[in-house]
Structure 1
Amino acid sequence: MDWSYVGRLWEKWASNNVGSSGQPLKAALLINYDPTGPSRLLSTIAEQEGIRADPIEISQFVSFVKRNKLQMETFFIGPNQYLVTSIHESWFCARCLNTSKQAGEGAIVMQTSAFLLVGLYDGSIGSASRAIVAVDQFAWQLGRRNF
C-alpha cells in the first residue's frame, strides 16, 4: 500500500470537497477495510476531515457493514443515528434519524478494495447528489491504484 499516495490524494480531495461553506461534504472519513482479511486485523481510521471520529464507534460501524444487514439495522457516526435509504453495488446512502437541522443530514458510504469512504452532508436530495459525486470522485481515484 502506498500510504504517501493515499495521503496526498486525500489532502487534495478533502481541501476541495470537505468542510467549508459551499463544499458538498461537511465531513469525511477514510477507514481501512478488508472484508476478506483475518478478523484479527482491525479497521482503523486512515484519514478524517471535519470530524473527530471515535475508534470504538468506528469499529461498531465497520461491524454494521460486515453484518450486511443494511436495511434491518441503523448505525451511528458521532452523535447521529443513520438509517440506510438506498443500497447500490459498492455504496449506500443513509439519512440521519435524530437531526435537528430542518433540511436534514445524510451519509454516503462507498467501499473500495481496501477502504470504506464515508461522506457526511447537510441537506436533502440536491445535497445528496453533490455528496455522491464528491465521494465517488475519491473512490474512483483510489480504484485507479486498486486501493
Structure 2
Amino acid sequence: MDWTAVHRLWDKWAPDNVGSGQPLKAALLVNYDPTGPSRLLSTIAEQEGFRADPVELSQFVNFVKRNNLQTETFLLGPNEYLVTSIHENWFHARCMNTSKPSGEGVVVMQTAAFLLVAIYEGSIGSASCAVTAADQFANQLCRKSL
C-alpha cells in the first residue's frame, strides 16, 4: 500500500469537495479489507469535517461486512441512516433523525482497499453532487491501484 499516494490524493481532493460551500459536509476514508479476518480492525486513513469514534466505526464496518444493507440501519455520529439505493460498488442512505429541513445523506463507495464515506446535506441535487465528488476520488484510487 502506497500511503503517501493515498494522502497526496486526499490532500488534493478534500479541499475542493469537503467543507462549507462544497458538495460534501464531511468525508471519511476507511482502510477496509472485506476478505481479511474479522479480528483485524479497520482504521481511518483520512477524515475531514467529521471525527469518527473507533467503536462506532467498527460497528459501521461490521454493517458493511454483513451485507444486510436493505434490512438494517447504521449509525454515524448521532445520526441513524437507512439505505435507500444499492449499486455495484456503492450505496446511498438517508438520515432518519436529522434536524436539517432539507435532510442529510451519505454515499458509501467501496474500492479494493477502502470505504469512502461521503456525508452531505440536502436532497436529490445534493445527493447527485455527493455521488460525483465521491466517484472522482474513488476513481483516482482505482487508477493508482489503491
Q: TM-score range by the shorter chain?
A: over 0.9
Shift of 1:145: 1.6
- Structure 2 match to 1:8: 8
Q: Specify every segment of 5 or more residues in structure 2 that has no aligned partner in the other structure, as ranges.
A: none
For residue 133 of structure 1, give the secondary structure of its aligned residue in structure 2. helix
Deviations 1:57-77 (A, max 9, x none): 000000000000001000000
Deviations 1:73-106 (A, max 9, x none): 0000000000000000000000000001110000
Structure 1 vs Structure 2: percent identity of aligned residues? 75
- Structure 1 match to 2:94: 95
**AA partner of residue 16 (structure 1):** D
For residue 94 of structure 2, give the secondary structure of its aligned residue in structure 1. strand
- Structure 2 match to 1:27: 26
Q: Which runs of 4+ in 1 moved over 4 A?
A: none
Superposition pairs of residues 1-147 of structure 1, within 5 angstroms: 1-21=1-21, 23-147=22-146
Deviations 1:84-130 (A, max 9, x none): 00000000000000001110000000000000000000000000000
TM-score (ref. length: structure 1):
0.98
For residue 46 of structure 1, give the secondary structure of its aligned residue in structure 2. strand
Shift of 1:40: 2.5
In structure 2, how many angstroms separate the alpha carbons of the residues matched to 1:81 and 1:49?
20
**AA partner of residue 133 (structure 2):** A
Q: Specify every segment of 5 or more residues in structure 1 that has no aligned partner in the other structure, as ranges.
A: none
TM-score (ref. length: structure 2):
0.98
**AA partner of residue 128 (structure 2):** S
Shift of 1:39: 2.1
**AA partner of residue 140 (structure 1):** N
Shift of 1:38: 2.1
For residue 35 of structure 1, give the secondary structure of its aligned residue in structure 2. coil
Shift of 1:41: 1.7
Shift of 1:2: 0.6
